Amino acid sequence: MRAFVSMLSGILFGFGLALSGMMDPSRVRGFLDIFGDWDPTMAFVMGGAVIVMAIAWRMQKAMNKPVVCDQFSLPGTKLIDARLIGGAALFGIGWGLAGLCPGPAVASLANNLSGAAIFVAAMIAGMVIFRLTERPAQ
């Protein structure tokens, strides 16, 4: 049942990304291009997703445990440090260069295999580099 929920969530997520236009790097880049030909589409995507999730968080607060798992496993870190900001800044640079973030990149393996495979392979390489250089205390 947990497997089914994961798969359903992934499929709906991928379908939503495809429908929203966020699998088009030039459109995502257009959202980031505020000094040029700005494309506000991504604001609608984020707005729609955040509104639905805000309701879900309300429901989550009233639940003792998730529907098909024993307990909630949610991040509890409150720390706002150089690591968070540096990581987010690096991610933003990569996002601006290629117009892809991890979700659309993975989903694009179904749509633009050659380009998406290059990005995803490089992204995995970056994750491996991070893993190898990571300090033990996290």
Partner 1 sequence: MLPGFPDAQPVNGLIGGVLIGLAAAIMLLGNGRIAGVSGMLARTLGLTRGTPWPIAALFVAGLILGAVLHLLTLGPIEADFAPGWGWLVAGGLITGIGTRLGSGCTSGHGVCGMSRLSPRSIVATLTFIAAGMVTVAVVNAVGGGW
Per CB under 8 A, which of residues 81..120 are in contact with partner 1?
Answer: 83-103, 105-112, 115-116, 118-120
DSSP per position, 13-38: HHHHHHHHTTT-HHHHHHHH-TTSS-
71 part of the interface to partner 1, by CB under 8 A: yes
What is the closest distance, in whole angstroms, from the C-beta atom of residue 35 to partner 1 in the complex?
A: 5
What is the closest distance, in whole angstroms, from the C-beta atom of residue 21 to partner 1 in the complex?
A: 5
Tell me the C-alpha to C-alpha distance, in Å, between residue 20 and each of 41, 59, 100: 8, 25, 14
For 118, the token pair is: 């290059």
Q: Which of 89, 74, 81, 90 is nearest to 137 (CA)?
A: 81
What is the closest distance, in whole angstroms, from the C-beta atom of residue 136 to partner 1 in the complex?
A: 14
77 part of the interface to partner 1, by CB under 8 A: yes
64 part of the interface to partner 1, by CB under 8 A: no
What is the closest distance, in whole angstroms, from the C-beta atom of residue 24 to partner 1 in the complex?
A: 5
